[in-house]
Structure 1
């Protein structure tokens, strides 16, 4: 019998991408497709690729409580309330927002709010062990399998952490700079002046510096204290795709071979992460529609700096794909079920 899933926030890009991925999933039945403001609207009115007779459901906590699992694809405000309520009811949850990714202190620092459920702030050492951060490749796989609430990582942190995590022991603290670029779908489906076609087309701009909220998530989940990082995101004129380029100064004795070995060892058995040969760089288009991540690193002996480039689909490994990967683990399924690391190309 298939596992019954509820999706809340299905009218957003992340929720719709999850619906697309689940259309071919052999072990999950989407029982509820909830969207507060779009309840009663045919799904295909917003997403013509999801043709059919299905309409968006209202958000009904009692109905969600009857599901085997729920994915929340809402902003962090609604997710705080829904995630806590479902956790208390014992319903496994994967949350795509930032509601549960940080510590209590980190949430207050980066979101300017007191966390209403400190026990569910996955980045806090005092949090309930059933509330976990969901980046399987960074050693959280077993924790996700045993979890009740999974804080799905952000898109920028996913790409950045996958690139940097294996190298933190090789880098000088305080030397890391991250330059990242994302397609416009990363800003969500809501109409915004800055996302009009006429404004985005042919344009490239930075935003959020020097204190973008994802900075705190990256610093929290790097596996060692590397000091403060400098993180600057950019909006690029494409629908989807994300490229993060990170720079760091290496400690004495580190060379190109040590850097290559660290990445190869970390990801040798990971189904969704591909390490490219030095001098070969990832392409965002190669990951479109997939849950894959491509990495490469080059070392400059003149400056003693390493450049690590990481590409993902911001709606795939950066959101819905990773949510499905975590959902598979929660439900006791093979984590690759319904997913691929191979993108659409050209």
Structure 2
């Protein structure tokens, strides 16, 4: 039995990647594909690599268009998916909704308001099964918040050590380089080739990047106690990908062999 799947924000990088993955899934039928400013255009003119969907015309992103599918992916700008998700809850309560934006990731309304500057849309189960307790929560969920790009990288790197109790929860330092596609498709002067190629530039420094509270939230869940992080992101001249250098101190008396064993326990049998 195939599942019908709708994808909003299909003209962007995240939406295009979701469609690329779905096209190789043997049990998926692509339903509505939607956009905002690009509604009415052929998908092939915006995502030329998606040959099987090239002639599909992008529809407007509304809850009415997305309703009625088995699964809906929301690949919308931050702050945009909360309202659409709320409408979908009313129109299509049986639909599994997966939000690739940031709207439902943070548990703290105060953190959301401080870093994103709008009302908090609520908290959904966090879609990183490698964190303690998350696998069972995701399996029974009808709403899932996709982790952010930097948090995914940093949590996968450090969480096993905190889960095993071998790392000190203070003085965690992460410096990460990200490709330009992480900023989305919108035209921005600092993302022009003449600005970005051949150079690297830090941004969101001094704890100001929006992913800082999400990283601390996930590491604190792994540790079972508050974890504080110094996080510095940099823009690197590459189209996609993240290279994160994540460091934390060992707790006194920890056997170095136990450090390696912690990561082997966490990932030795993980298929991905």
Deviations 1:224-243 (A, max 9, x none): 23432100011111111111
Secondary structure of 1:32's match? strand
Whether 1:243 and 2:209 are equivalent positions in the alignment is: no
Give runs of aligned pairs for residues 19-30 of structure 1, distance below 5 A.
19-30=19-30
Deviations 1:265-321 (A, max 9, x none): 01122111xxxxxxxxxxxxxxxxxxxxxxxxxxxxxxxxxxxxxxxxxxxxxxxxx
Does structure 2 conserve the Cα–Cα contact (< 8 Å) formed by 1:87 and 1:149? Answer: no
The Cα of 1:54 is off from its aligned counterpart by 1.5
Q: CA RMSD in A?
A: 1.4
TM-score (norm 1): 0.72
Does structure 1 conserve the Cα–Cα contact (< 8 Å) formed by 2:153 and 2:244? Answer: yes
Secondary structure of 1:63's match? helix
The Cα of 1:106 is off from its aligned counterpart by 2.1
CA distance in 2, matches of 1:81, 1:134: 20
Q: Which residue of 2 aligns with 1:158?
A: 152
CA distance in 1, matches of 2:29, 2:39: 20
The Cα of 1:254 is off from its aligned counterpart by 1.8
- Stretch moving more, 31-40 or 247-256: 247-256
CA distance in 1, matches of 2:89, 2:78: 15
2:130 to 128, 137, 144: 137
Q: Which residue of 1 aligns with 2:192?
A: 196
Secondary structure of 2:80's match? helix
Q: Which residue of 2 aligns with 1:100?
A: 104
- Stretch moving more, 12-21 or 134-143: 134-143
Does structure 1 conserve the Cα–Cα contact (< 8 Å) formed by 2:75 and 2:101? Answer: yes
Give runs of aligned pairs for residues 163-312 of structure 1, distance below 5 A.
163-168=157-162, 169-210=165-206, 211-222=208-219, 223-224=222-223, 225-272=225-272
CA distance in 2, matches of 1:33, 1:59: 8
Does structure 2 conserve the Cα–Cα contact (< 8 Å) formed by 1:87 and 1:93? Answer: no
Does structure 2 conserve the Cα–Cα contact (< 8 Å) formed by 1:160 and 1:218? Answer: yes
Aligned pair in 2 of structure 1 residues 145, 57: CA closer, same or farther (>3 Å)? same
Secondary structure of 1:147's match? coil
Does structure 2 conserve the Cα–Cα contact (< 8 Å) formed by 1:13 and 1:189? Answer: yes
Does structure 1 conserve the Cα–Cα contact (< 8 Å) formed by 2:4 and 2:31? Answer: yes
CA distance in 2, matches of 1:188, 1:70: 20
Does structure 2 conserve the Cα–Cα contact (< 8 Å) formed by 1:86 and 1:92? Answer: no
Q: Which residue of 2 aligns with 1:309?
A: none
CA distance in 1, matches of 2:269, 2:86: 34
CA distance in 1, matches of 2:226, 2:267: 21
Does structure 1 conserve the Cα–Cα contact (< 8 Å) formed by 2:20 and 2:50? Answer: yes
Does structure 1 conserve the Cα–Cα contact (< 8 Å) formed by 2:151 and 2:215? Answer: yes
CA distance in 2, matches of 1:212, 1:63: 34
CA distance in 1, matches of 2:62, 2:228: 42
Secondary structure of 1:132's match? coil
TM-score (norm 2): 0.91
Long gaps (5+) in structure 2? none
Does structure 1 conserve the Cα–Cα contact (< 8 Å) formed by 2:79 and 2:118? Answer: no
CA distance in 2, matches of 1:29, 1:71: 13
